[in-house]
């Protein structure tokens, strides 16, 4: 999972320094991205680059069934989208 977390750390550092995101945003995004990375790893997906749209849909559906609130899932998707945009730009 270290490949996942290295990208997450780089992205969160960008949010913290360049975009001056609040500590709460950083904390929430870290938790959300870690949860998605863990779910991806459980599906034998070992990098963000290998994660496909259908994988994300399946992960979100699974987390919804586990009782994660809709707003939390929306924030989680926002965090993933932001990370992907960051990875494309860098």
The pTM of the whole model exceeds 0.85: yes
- The whole domain housing 6 covers 2-89
pLDDT tens digits for range 61-78: 999 999 999 999 999 999
Which residues are CB-neighbours of 5 under 8 A, at least 6 positions away? 34, 37
CATH number of residue 60's parent domain: 1.10.150.130
**Residues 71-86: b if buried by 16+ CB within 10 A, e if exposed:** ebbebbbebbebbbeb
Domain count, the chain: 1
Which two tokens mark 55? Answer: 């994988």
Does residue 13 surpass a pLDDT of 70?
yes
Q: Band of the pLDDT at 2, cuts 50, 70, 90?
A: low
C-alpha separations of 62 from 25, 34, 37, 55, 74 in Å = 24, 15, 14, 10, 14
Does residue 4 surpass a pLDDT of 60?
yes
Beta-carbon neighbour count of residue 16 at 10 Å?
A: 14
C-alpha separations of 14 from 20, 68, 70 in Å = 8, 27, 26
């Amino acid at each position: 999972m270290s490949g996942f977390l290295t990208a997450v750390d780089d992205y969160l550092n960008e949010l913290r320094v360049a975009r001056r995101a609040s500590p709460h945003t950083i904390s929430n995004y870290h938790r959300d991205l870690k949860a998605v990375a863990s779910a991806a790893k459980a599906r034998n997906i070992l990098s963000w680059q290998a994660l496909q749209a259908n994988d994300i849909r399946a992960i979100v559906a699974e987390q919804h069934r586990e009782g994660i609130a809709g707003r939390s899932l929306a924030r989680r998707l926002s965090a993933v989208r932001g990370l992907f945009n960051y990875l494309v730009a860098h």
